[in-house]
Structure 1
């Protein structure tokens, strides 16, 4: 069975930040970030909009983090110690990701070299920066939270059960910190239940069947509640739904029991009429137009931060 390790590093970091960072500084930084983000996004009350906004904010902050990291490496005369093979492998991976016709990129060699060449440097950089700037540590907390969210999304998209459990367990400290009593209580119960599944259910979840896929392809799994909202609930509220039938129990039952069959017919009709395309197998965020849009928005956010805000990773040498 899968194992799930609870790590309270985020809780410890929170206490450290709470005792060392000036509260007004934190508030000012948060206000600056929200102002920068809202400048480029129109708010929508949907999970997809929230995930997109937070992902782009994460990419922006991470880009600034790496910029400061390489500046520090250069100042400490550590760039020369990095093997030339690493840079060549990184460029190859970048070219592969830039090729919109490539669906799968082999990162194994790059990750091995990254661990060998950079893990110790990153640890040293973090230790130095934590001592130099409590604000740096605060923004590292933001990046950690972003990584937890992205892990959870990735688990659903790929149908990776172990990653799902890992990401959910990593959310627990944040639920306690934010005083989300129900989330803290029932997420704990959920994890215990999921670690004691019947063998048949466990095997199904390990094969990715805990996520819902409405069409074949890769990186397009979604949460079960989102799938329900996009299908049954959406259809029930739209034209031809249960509007006007709610007072007739027999009609409502007929509609409910036959909805999945009618939905198949409706989808096929949309495909035949050209309204819906059945050949698209990738998630919409993997489409070339979406990738170009996201890249431009991240660049815009980076430019805004650099021109109008204090560098969140500014450290005194």
Structure 2
């Protein structure tokens, strides 16, 4: 499967880029003692972070810099070296990768990034396999296969998903995206299982199911108005 990459440089927000600079600079400080050439990269990253805080550097110019990629390569090289030396280090490195995958999944839903969502789902496949969740592995793999062909099969749907319409928003805030299954659990399933719902008080007869289904749109309007 040919998977899309993470967010393009133009899609990365100023907050994201500033956080990347700060975090990678902090990680790089531990490498300065062993790599003399690394000190200049760390100093440049600190200067860029300060200039972004003071609005002296624009997002476009900061995203075009290759400095963060160089720092990332250095850190990844050190991680790989530590993984070969110790089983404990390898365990912690793998744990960090799992956390990064979980963070990417949350961020993809919150920000509505379709490319990041697919990439994070791809990173979940080896985790599902290692944990023995083979049903999750099979379903996620099939899901990725279908979504990778979405652009050719249903270009109109792919266009909407690429613009962030694969998540549900209740406000216009940047970090307000919610996955569809999460919203279903919060709204439909909550009303069904709460007091007065089908499973608590109303009963599951055919008449009560029809009455509950037909009255739900009306009661939801009253609920939103209140």
Q: TM-score, normalised by structure 1?
A: 0.55
Greater Cα offset, 125-134 or 175-184: 125-134
Give the match for residue 173 of structure 2: 217
Q: Please state how far the C-alpha of 1:225 moved relative to its aligned partner.
A: 1.2
Q: Please state how far the C-alpha of 1:93 moved relative to its aligned partner.
A: 4.8
Question: Is 1:233 aligned to 2:189, yes or no?
Answer: yes
Question: Is 1:205 aligned to 2:204, yes or no?
Answer: no
In structure 2, stretches of 5+ residues that fail to align are 6-22
Q: CA RMSD in A?
A: 3.1
Give the match for residue 62 of structure 2: 109
Question: Is 1:71 aligned to 2:30, yes or no?
Answer: yes
Aligned CA distance change for structure 1 residues 129 and 73 (closer, same or farther; 3 Å): farther
Aligned CA distance change for structure 1 residues 185 and 247 (closer, same or farther; 3 Å): closer
Give the match for residue 132 of structure 2: 179
Kept in 1: contact 2:25–2:42 (CA 8 A): no
Question: Is 1:133 aligned to 2:86, yes or no?
Answer: yes
The 5 Å alignment of 1:31-110 reads 69-78=28-37, 80-82=39-41, 84-93=43-52, 106=59, 109=62
Q: Which has the higher contact order (CA 8 A, sep 6+)?
A: 1
In structure 1, stretches of 5+ residues that fail to align are 7-62, 97-104, 270-317
Give the match for residue 253 of structure 1: 210
Cα-to-partner distance string for 1:54-81 (whole Å, 9 max, x where unaligned)? xxxxxxxxx8x97674233135434543
Q: TM-score, normalised by structure 2?
A: 0.74
Cα-to-partner distance string for 1:273-295 (whole Å, 9 max, x where unaligned)? xxxxxxxxxxxxxxxxxxxxxxx
Kept in 1: contact 2:79–2:93 (CA 8 A): no
Q: 1:193 aligns with which of 122, 146, 159?
A: 146
Q: Please state how far the C-alpha of 1:250 moved relative to its aligned partner.
A: 2.3
Kept in 1: contact 2:4–2:118 (CA 8 A): no
Give the match for residue 34 of structure 1: none
| C-alpha distance in 2 between matches for 1:66 and 1:83 | 6
Aligned CA distance change for structure 1 residues 122 and 160 (closer, same or farther; 3 Å): same
Q: Please state how far the C-alpha of 1:184 moved relative to its aligned partner.
A: 1.4
Cα-to-partner distance string for 1:94-137 (whole Å, 9 max, x where unaligned)? 689xxxxxxxx948616725426523432443344334433222
Cα-to-partner distance string for 1:138-173 (whole Å, 9 max, x where unaligned)? 211111111111111111111111111111011111
Aligned CA distance change for structure 1 residues 240 and 92 (closer, same or farther; 3 Å): farther
Q: 2:105 aligns with which of 152, 156, 162?
A: 152
Aligned CA distance change for structure 1 residues 199 and 76 (closer, same or farther; 3 Å): closer
| C-alpha distance in 2 between matches for 1:131 and 1:245 | 61
Greater Cα offset, 232-241 or 170-179: 232-241
